[in-house]
């Protein structure tokens, strides 16, 4: 499909066979400062209400199609390398993909484990004995965060990379912390570009991922991230952000919905859509640092 450069509502510029991916972070958590995304708002709310405890009976809900609600699809968190000891302007991040494995039979457990965890560094997250599942997460991508917090030069560069080298995204911000350049290097998809225009007077930021499909300036919409502008100045010295960070909507033409699946589908997103989720985490990292930057510059 094509779209014009004029601003449109997110529901009207993405086709019906699309999927919505809400992003959430728990600002009240004293343990971690992670950002999660889900296959629906209902799944996000269930996870939020369970307070990140996936082992209780009410933490998860199995749907008729076999999918479990309440389990994140991806998690982005601070990477515990040398940058972890630095300030937020220099900390790197890692993106994990969640994998659900059935435990109701040894055969099913071994089969799904070999399918999704073979030759991958998997971290055990939780076991839910009420629903007979074990939940793991595997490293999906990394975001390198380059910035000199104490320097007069406030230029920042975010670089997203995958282990297989299939895609690299670089987001460059200037001294005013506004986006100056966004570049995507992707095998067989060298036409992907983000339209990253911030509208200062708008209640929301809408970032469009587009593909130049021919030489006649026709544009194919690949994904759209609607960032929630939920910042409020409190007592003229602080900013408050809500847990909900925004919504990513994208066509999911590679996924055919089944009437009844045997088990939770760990690959309900296409390979490209998974990479779009990772690229969205770069935008969220920029947005969150921009908020901290605004806090430090309030008079």
pTM for the model: 0.82
Question: In this predicted model, what pLDDT tens digit does every residue of 157-213 receive, in sequence order?
Answer: 889 999 888 888 888 877 666 777 778 887 665 567 777 765 554 556 777 887 654
Sign of CA dihedral 182, 185, 189, 190: positive
What is the rounded average pLDDT of the residues 90-109? Answer: 91
Which H or E element spans position 140? strand 133-147
Picking from 146, 143, 142, 69, the residue whose alpha carbon sits closest to that of residue 100 is 69
As beta bridge partners, residue 186 has: 167
For 3-28, write each residue's pLDDT tens digit. Answer: 333 334 444 444 557 889 999 887 65
3-state DSSP call for residue 131?
A: coil
Rg (CA), the chain: 20
Which of 55-59, 213-217, 264-268 has the largest mean confidence?
Answer: 55-59
Summary count for the chain: helices (H), strands (E): 3, 17
Q: How far is CA 211 from CA 33, 181, 221, 258, 264, in A?
A: 33, 17, 7, 29, 31
- Taking only the tens place, the pLDDT of each residue in 30-73 is 445 789 999 999 999 999 999 889 999 999 999 888 889 999 99
pLDDT band at 2 (very low <50, low <70, confident <90, very high): very low
> Exposed, middle or buried: residue 292 (CB in 10 Å: 0-12, 13-18, 19+)?
middle
Look up residue 127 and give its DSSP letter: E
Non-local CB neighbours of 192 within 8 Å, separated by 6+ positions:
184, 186, 209, 210, 211, 222
What separation in angstroms does the CA of 69 have from each of 38, 54, 77, 158, 299? Answer: 9, 11, 21, 31, 44
pLDDT tens-digit map of 112-146: 999 999 888 899 999 999 999 999 999 999 998 87
The pLDDT value given to residue 244:
79
Question: What is the structure's pLDDT at 78?
Answer: 83
Q: Which pLDDT belongs to residue 125?
A: 96
In whole angstroms, give the CA distance from residue 23 to residue 38: 7
Query: What is the rounded CA–CA span in Å between residue 167 and residue 13?
Result: 25
């Amino acid at each position: 499909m094509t779209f014009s450069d004029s601003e449109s509502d997110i529901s009207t510029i993405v086709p019906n066979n699309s999927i919505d991916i809400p992003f959430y972070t728990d600002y009240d958590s004293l343990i971690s400062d992670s950002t999660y995304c889900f296959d629906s708002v209902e799944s996000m709310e269930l996870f939020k209400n369970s307070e990140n405890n996936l082992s209780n009976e009410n933490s998860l809900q199995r749907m008729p199609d076999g999918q479990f609600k309440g389990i994140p699809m991806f998690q982005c968190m601070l990477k515990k390398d040398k940058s972890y000891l630095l300030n937020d302007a220099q900390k790197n991040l890692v993106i994990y993909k969640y994998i659900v494995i059935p435990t109701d039979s040894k055969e099913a457990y071994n089969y799904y484990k070999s399918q999704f965890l073979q030759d991958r560094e998997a971290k055990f997250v939780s076991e839910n004995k009420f629903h007979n599942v074990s939940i793991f997460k595997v490293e999906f991508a990394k975001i390198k965060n380059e910035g000199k917090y104490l320097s007069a030069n406030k230029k920042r560069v975010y670089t997203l990379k995958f282990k297989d080298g299939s895609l690299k995204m670089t987001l460059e911000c200037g001294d005013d912390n506004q986006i100056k350049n966004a570049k995507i290097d992707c095998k067989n998809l060298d036409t992907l570009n983000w339209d990253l225009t911030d509208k200062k007077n708008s209640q929301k930021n809408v970032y469009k991922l587009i593909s130049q499909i021919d030489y006649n300036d026709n544009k194919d919409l690949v994904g759209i991230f609607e960032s929630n502008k939920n910042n409020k100045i409190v007592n003229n010295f602080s900013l408050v952000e809500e847990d909900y960070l925004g919504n990513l909507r994208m066509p999911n033409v590679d996924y055919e919905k089944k009437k009844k699946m045997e088990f939770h589908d760990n690959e309900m997103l296409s390979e490209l859509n998974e990479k779009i989720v990772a690229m969205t985490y770069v935008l969220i990292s920029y947005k969150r640092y921009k908020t901290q930057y605004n806090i430090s510059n309030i008079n």
